[in-house]
Amino acid sequence: MNTNIPVIDLKDIGSRQTLHALDEACRHWGLFQVVGHGIKAEGISAVHDEMRNFFAQPQASKLAISRSQENPWGYYDQERTGNEIDRKQVFDYGPADGATQRPQWPHQAPGFKSAMLEHYAACERLAFVFVEAIGHNLGAKPGLLLRSFQPSHTSFLRLNYFPGKHGESAATESALGINPHTDSGAVTVLSLDQVAGLEVFVQEQWVPVAAQDDALVINLGDVVQVWSNDRYRAPLHRVAGSGNEARYSAPFFLNPAYSANYEPLHSTVDKDHPPRYHTINWGRFRELRTLGDYDDYGEEVRLSQYLRQS
């Protein structure tokens, strides 16, 4: 098997050649790297600098902006994946929504907020480009998939810190930075440092994802898998232990509006390929997934629970 993660140059994403490369990567991997993405290197560098400085702060300073069950934005060191606590610390940013869901910014970090807002906007633009390209490859009319993100989407930017064996970490015996999972949203845009750890499960084996200079990692989520009627799969992935060396990453998760309902696209369904999923409401699905991430509230919701009976 070829275990080289696909790398796609996006300088002409509308070309037949690039769209074909994207289709192949989505079919066989679900996770791939992109260059020529248009996000400035200095912006990515600023995010990683601010991230390192933030997680180096005393624990009391980070806990002062802890997230809660009511407000998902802020710092947390008890994140769960598949009901297992990960060996990591996170900071999440998303837009304000209602009275309790509001961003929290670290004190005494004047460049932090601007770096994160700029990167959020850049990743948002890039992720929507992928949604349109994926829709084209699946036979959807232009703009159809974008409706799922209106009037306002629920995307967020996460900062991950994996301390290594000798660093400050969550109170867990887990050997994994992040336990195996698929992403629940549509598209993830991920910026990595050069420390190994990310692995994707392909053809019954874990394949390491080595960060390429100037590249970002694109990862399909469960929403795209449903839209595609399983033509594209949200890949199972994890973060292995990084030894003694600290590791950092910054994923942007493009998520639909809470009101969005999604199901297999009509263009992916025919007599040989009946719809494999019931209609799913994103708000309810995300609520159940978030409860499992924040604490051990029963079995974590999975896409397989929405499969139609064959």
* Nearest residue to 216 via CA among 237, 250, 189: 189
Helix, strand, coil abundance in the chain, percent, nearest 5: 30, 25, 45
DSSP state of 139: T
How far is it, in rounded angstroms, from Cα 32 to Cα 6?
5
pLDDT per position in the chain (310 positions), as tens? 557 899 999 999 999 999 999 999 999 999 999 999 999 999 999 999 999 999 999 999 999 999 998 899 999 998 888 777 888 999 999 999 888 899 999 988 999 999 999 999 999 999 999 999 999 999 999 999 999 999 999 999 999 999 976 554 444 455 788 999 999 999 999 999 999 899 999 989 999 998 888 999 999 999 999 999 999 999 999 998 757 789 999 999 999 999 999 999 999 999 999 999 999 999 999 888 776 555 554 456 789 899 998 6
How far is it, in rounded angstroms, from Cα 10 to Cα 19?
9
DSSP state of 53: H
